């Protein structure tokens, strides 16, 4: 089964693990910080179920060789030990306007967040083995890996960053919180199936969506990982939710946007979007903005009534951003759109040479996004004219993030790029 991006969503090979399992790390944390000893423990969720395929995450300090093993009491005949080395974990310098690129074992097509001097991202590598899939913390200035967390999942969501933690979901039915500075696991929560929606953090809560045989939106305590509530939708919940202190707004493959009470998970309203809602949602000044199939929708956050709808020439599959009264959204028709948030009127659009299926970021009077034509684009927010574009070696479908004087994006060529903003 594939999601709207064509990524294969995998269930466990033998049995479906029960939901609502929280696994806490040992007191010393999970993994090895830079400069610590060489042994890393891998926690395997529900490993008493032979072949269930749910794995914990181990972290590798990026300057020494590590060895992964199964924690006592969590034996799993399906888990092989893996040796992870620090080879190749330094960034290559680039000619201006590029700054550096960091090579990963697989395409970088999921979320990417730059905050606090770090760039957090993950690769998708379906080849299995010791480098099956990794979550990275990269130094934003140099591109050198500070830590690397790995397990045998083949697809990650996220990441989302908050509370000094990095939150990621996976196709191994797990949501994991890692210490943002060390990579040590704070907690891991096991859902009923593949985690399809990227996490959203608001205050002390983490919200995620699941799919295939689960189809719930979850609220977890961001500090402990304990479940607060879950709400069943009609299908997979692909989109990254948007959250306020009052409500959580999430979309799904069933073509609905849901508004749920942030404290209880009670349904406030549902909105028929007219197509799958699979990308980033935004809630700004009492309005919810979402990619609704091949449209961008503005929905009243209180009533759930449509305020306006703007049609594009292709599906809005990834992100949108709202800044200074303007909605910026990328479409699979290859264009980035700037739309007046109050009326839905088009201000301008900028076409690229391929589908525009990346995240969108706004800073410095510029909107940044990626395209399937392998370029990272910087477009002037006032005129819609391109300021520059930087060519990578593959499709740019990751999140896009700006920090300081650099913009960061991932490519299907396996690299994370830092380019002068």
pLDDT band at 82 (very low <50, low <70, confident <90, very high): very low
Cβ-Cβ contacts under 8 Å for 306 (sequence gap 6 or more): 271, 297, 298, 299, 300
Separation of alpha carbons 136 and 158, rounded Å: 12
User: What's the DSSP call for residue 174?
Assistant: E
The two tokens of residue 349 are 């659009």
Separation of alpha carbons 52 and 71, rounded Å: 16
Q: How do residues 234-261 score in pLDDT, each as one tens digit? A: 888 777 899 999 999 999 888 999 999 9
Helices (H) and strands (E) in the chain, counts: 0, 38
Q: In what order do the strands lie in the sheet with 366-370?
A: 360-363, 366-370, 375-380, 386-391
Q: How do residues 310-322 score in pLDDT, each as one tens digit? A: 999 999 988 799 9
Contact 411, 372 (CB under 8 A): no
Question: What integer pLDDT is reported at residue 154 of this predicted model?
Answer: 66
Q: For the stretch 187-226, what's the b/e string if a residue is b when 16 or more beta carbons lie within 10 angstroms of its beta carbon? A: bbbbbbbbbbbbbbbbeebbbbbbbbebbbbbbbbbeebe
Q: How do residues 327-357 score in pLDDT, each as one tens digit? A: 999 999 999 999 999 999 999 999 999 999 9
Average pLDDT over all residues of the chain: 78
Q: How do residues 134-190 score in pLDDT, each as one tens digit? A: 888 999 999 999 998 866 566 777 789 999 999 998 888 889 999 999 888 899 999
Separation of alpha carbons 169 and 86, rounded Å: 24
């Amino acid at each position: 089964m594939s999601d709207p991006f064509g990524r294969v969503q995998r269930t466990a090979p033998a049995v479906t693990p029960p939901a609502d399992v929280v696994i806490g790390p040992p007191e010393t944390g999970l993994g090895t910080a830079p400069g610590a000893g060489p042994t890393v423990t891998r926690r395997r969720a529900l490993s008493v179920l032979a072949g269930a395929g749910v794995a914990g995450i181990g972290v590798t300090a990026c300057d020494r060789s590590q060895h992964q093993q199964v924690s006592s009491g969590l034996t799993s005949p399906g888990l092989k030990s893996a040796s992870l080395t620090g080879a190749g974990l330094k960034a290559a310098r680039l000619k201006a306007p590029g700054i550096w690129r960091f090579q990963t074992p697989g395409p970088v097509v999921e979320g990417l967040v730059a905050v606090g001097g770090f760039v957090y991202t993950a690769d998708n590598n379906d080849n299995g083995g010791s480098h099956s899939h990794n979550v990275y913390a990269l130094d934003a200035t140099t591109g050198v890996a500070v830590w690397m967390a790995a397990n045998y999942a083949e697809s990650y969501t996220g990441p989302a960053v908050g509370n000094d933690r990095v939150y990621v979901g996976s196709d191994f039915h797990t949501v994991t919180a890692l210490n943002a500075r060390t990579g040590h696991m704070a907690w891991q929560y096991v859902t009923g199936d593949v985690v399809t929606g990227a996490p959203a953090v608001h205050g002390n809560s983490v919200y995620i969506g699941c799919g295939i045989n689960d189809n719930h939106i979850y609220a977890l305590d961001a500090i402990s990982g304990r479940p607060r509530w879950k709400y069943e939708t009609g299908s997979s919940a692909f989109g990254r939710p948007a959250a306020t202190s009052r409500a959580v707004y999430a979309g799904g493959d069933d073509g609905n946007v849901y508004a749920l009470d942030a404290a209880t998970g009670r349904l406030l309203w549902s909105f028929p979007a007219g197509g799958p809602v699979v990308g980033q949602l935004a809630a700004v000044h009492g309005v919810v903005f979402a990619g609704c199939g091949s449209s961008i929708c503005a929905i009243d956050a209180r009533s759930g009534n449509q305020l306006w709808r703007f049609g594009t020439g292709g599906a809005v599959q990834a992100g949108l951003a709202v800044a200074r009264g303007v909605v910026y959204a990328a479409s699979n028709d290859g264009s980035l759109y700037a739309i007046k948030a109050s009326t839905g009127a088009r201000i301008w659009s900028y076409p690229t040479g391929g589908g525009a299926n990346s995240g969108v970021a706004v800073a410095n009077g510029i909107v940044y996004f990626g395209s399937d034509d392998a370029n990272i684009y910087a477009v002037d927010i006032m005129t819609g004219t391109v300021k520059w574009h930087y060519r990578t070696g593959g499709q740019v479908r990751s999140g896009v993030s700006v920090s300081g004087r650099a913009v960061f994006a991932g490519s299907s060529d396996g690299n994370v790029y830092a380019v002068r903003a």
